Chain A
């Protein structure tokens, strides 16, 4: 009985409300929008349906300023000394319920624990913030656009940012430079212009739209300050090479290979080993040259490249290569990984 009575109640209005229902978003209901709640009573008196009684209450949704700056990924950016355009990547998200501008600042910390655990001990140079236009996490000077602020960022919208810097030469493996990106929310509304600083509505509440700072604390800013920050860092990894040269007598014309002596006509094997320290970067295109003394004659075709070392003994496991010209032995090692040792071996006879 009651269900029959109530079924038609504001059916069309209900359908609209249902269609408008949307999942909760981080940004939420647009600041300045009104929420009107209407309740309705339907009833009978003496069996006669009476006009519905309505009452409404309306309030305005205020502006909650909220934003997030977060490093993309969870690892340091590995760089080599002298590298240009080294990239740390961040994402700025507008979690406010209003369209806002965001001022950007990339700063360097001095000392202290860096984003990924090391201790900051140097500064990078030429720090510039770019908008990662194609959102690929890679800096392309022809595509990405240098920015000092983000203009009119929509509710729940994110923008990928790249902090691009140059690494000074002469840094050692394990050196760390910490980078801090801070975004501060500013007034939106005027395109292509950084809006004015935001202020919270203080004192008595107003019936209209108030401004409330609702942001969390970042790595270097307080909660509810309309700013958010995060760190990322550069870690230097370079190759540290050490060179060792050894020789052994292979044979002489009288004793052959049994206890050979260092006499004219004897064959001597030289081994030049290149060791790359563990924990650094792989080294590539290592060019080795060795000028032979005039008392030695190079054995043609005897150069072996890329051999290994066991303890302090050079193994005869290289591959033929290299060249000999103008009294100089030369060869190129394509790559020596960190912690590995590779050799150039050649033979000569004593004059």
Chain B
């Protein structure tokens, strides 16, 4: 029932009257490149830069900023990020993210997931198998509340 309701909502998202109901949650997705440089004193320094020069093997940090700008709590709050095909997942900064290695059909921690190879054999999933990452909030996001989610990837 809930599922049907959701589908209806998604299908009619373009209808202006409906969209005005509560256009109050904002989301900003940013990608930064993590660079490690060794200074003259031999100490390594890690900096985050805009992704203007990116080559395969570069480490990326994805930052998702959300905010509830509305006057009511946002419940059943789920942030989903399918990984671009050219990015290999490298982990999220907190343990709360759920992962999927089958295109979002099933979710869990990396240790609980299995991958079926082309020849039918199954093996434990690895970080680079991750296709989707999501955060499911148990508690509603109160009005005015903001937060930040992060995960890492590497350019394939």
Which residues of A approach B to under 8 Å, CB–CB?
1-11, 13-15, 17-25, 27-29, 31, 33, 35-57, 59-64, 97, 201, 205-207, 210, 212, 214
Contacts and interface: CB of A to CB of B under 8 A. Distances in A.
Interface string B2-29: 1101111110010000110111111111
B56 A59 contact: no
Contact of B136 (A2, A11, A61): A2
A59 to B, nearest CB: 4
Contacts of A97: 55-56
B125 to A, nearest CB: 12
A50 B84 CA distance: 25
B53 interface: yes
Nearest to B81: A39
Nearest to B134: A6
B87 A35 contact: yes
Contacts of B31: 35, 37, 57, 59
B103 interface: yes
Contact of B9 (A22, A25, A48, A59): A48
- Tell me which of A36, A39, A60, A63 has the highest count of chain B C-beta atoms within 10 A of its own C-beta: A39
Given A6-B134, A17-B82, A44 B74 contact: yes
23 contacts: A8-B10, A9-B78, A9-B134, A18-B103, A18-B131, A22-B156, A27-B56, A28-B57, A37-B81, A37-B87, A39-B64, A41-B79, A43-B78, A43-B141, A45-B75, A49-B10, A50-B74, A51-B10, A60-B54, A61-B155, A64-B57, A205-B53, A210-B52
A37 B27 CA distance: 13
Given A10-B80, A21-B129, 17 more contacts: A4-B3, A5-B2, A6-B134, A9-B80, A13-B82, A17-B84, A28-B55, A28-B57, A39-B81, A42-B78, A44-B76, A45-B22, A50-B9, A51-B23, A57-B30, A62-B55, A201-B53
Interface of B: 2-3, 5-10, 13, 18-19, 21-31, 50-57, 62, 64, 66, 70, 72-88, 100, 102-105, 107, 128-129, 131-132, 134, 136, 138, 141, 155-156
Given A51-B18, A59-B51, A15 B103 contact: yes
Contacts of A48: 9, 21
A206 B2 contact: no
A167 B120 CA distance: 55
B155 A6 contact: no
A9 B72 CA distance: 23
A177 B8 CA distance: 78
**Could you tell me the dominant secondary structure of chain B's interface residues?**
mixed
Contacts of A55: 27-29, 64
- Tell me which of B50, B70, B81, B82 has the highest count of chain A C-beta atoms within 10 A of its own C-beta: B82
Contacts of A47: 75
B102 to A, nearest CB: 7
A255 B124 CA distance: 94
Contact of B79 (A27, A37, A39): A39
A31 B141 CA distance: 40
A39 B78 CA distance: 10
B153 to A, nearest CB: 9
Contacts of B5: 49
Nearest to A155: B56
A15 B77 CA distance: 23
A128 B100 CA distance: 54
B52 A205 contact: yes
Given A45-B75, A51-B13, A212 B3 contact: no
Nearest to A9: B80
A44 B77 CA distance: 7
A37 B55 CA distance: 16
Contacts of A25: 56, 156
A11 B2 contact: no
A22 B82 CA distance: 15
A49 B9 contact: yes
Given A9-B104, A29-B86, A38-B81, A24 B29 contact: no
- Tell me which of B2, B81, B103 has the highest count of chain A C-beta atoms within 10 A of its own C-beta: B103
Given A24-B128, A55-B27, A45 B74 contact: yes
A187 B151 CA distance: 36
A35 B82 contact: no
Contact of B132 (A2, A14, A210): A14
Contacts of A33: 86
Given A4-B2, A62-B53, A43 B76 contact: yes
A17 B131 contact: yes
Nearest to B49: A205
